[in-house]
Amino acid sequence: MKRKDFGCGPGCPVEVTLDLIDGKWKGVILFHLQDGTCRFGELKRKMPRITQRMLTKQLRALEEDGLVIRKVYPEVPPRVEYTLSEMGERLRPVIDVLKAWGEDHRARQVADAA
């Protein structure tokens, strides 16, 4: 929740949504959580290039914004699970269309380079 006021003009809702999912790795994290609950280490393995630091940071931010639920089990070694909240679940069509567009875009770039 970074950017505050847009004067709530007609395009405002676009930025409201972007404001929640904007941030490196957030989109990918949400994408992976769509497949179901994940533990920290699972997520990390799904995204080989992400640092522990960034994964923690973005997960906490997503939790803070209400998109993700973080469940801590009183276990050792630590066991923490991350799940899409109801609000996060409602982002499914958003993530899907972003993914589709990105794939299409990439395919076109490859075709243009040839």
The entry of DNA, its own copies, none that residue 56 binds, CB within 5 to 8 Å by partner kind:
DNA
Structural Rg of the chain based on CA atoms: 16
Nearer to its own copies by C-beta: 37 or 97? 97
Q: Which of 36, 39, 49, 79 binds its own copies (CB under 8 A)?
A: 49
Could you tell me the CA-to-CA distances from 72 to 33, 50, 77 in Å, in that order? 16, 22, 11
73 contributes a contact to its own copies by CB under 8 A: no
- Residue ranges in 21-40 that form contacts with DNA under rule CB under 7 A: 23-25, 39-40
- Residue ranges in 12-31 that form contacts with its own copies under rule CB under 8 A: 12-18, 20-22, 24-31
Compute how many residues bind its own copies; rule: CB under 8 A. 47
CA distance 31 to 92: 8
Extract the tokens encoding 95: 């993530």
- CB proximity list for 105: less than 8 A, separation 6 or greater: none
CA distance 46 to 36: 13
State the nearest-atom distance from the C-beta of 6 to its own copies, in Å. 6
- Residue ranges in 49-108 that form contacts with DNA under rule CB under 7 A: 50-54, 56-60, 70, 76-80
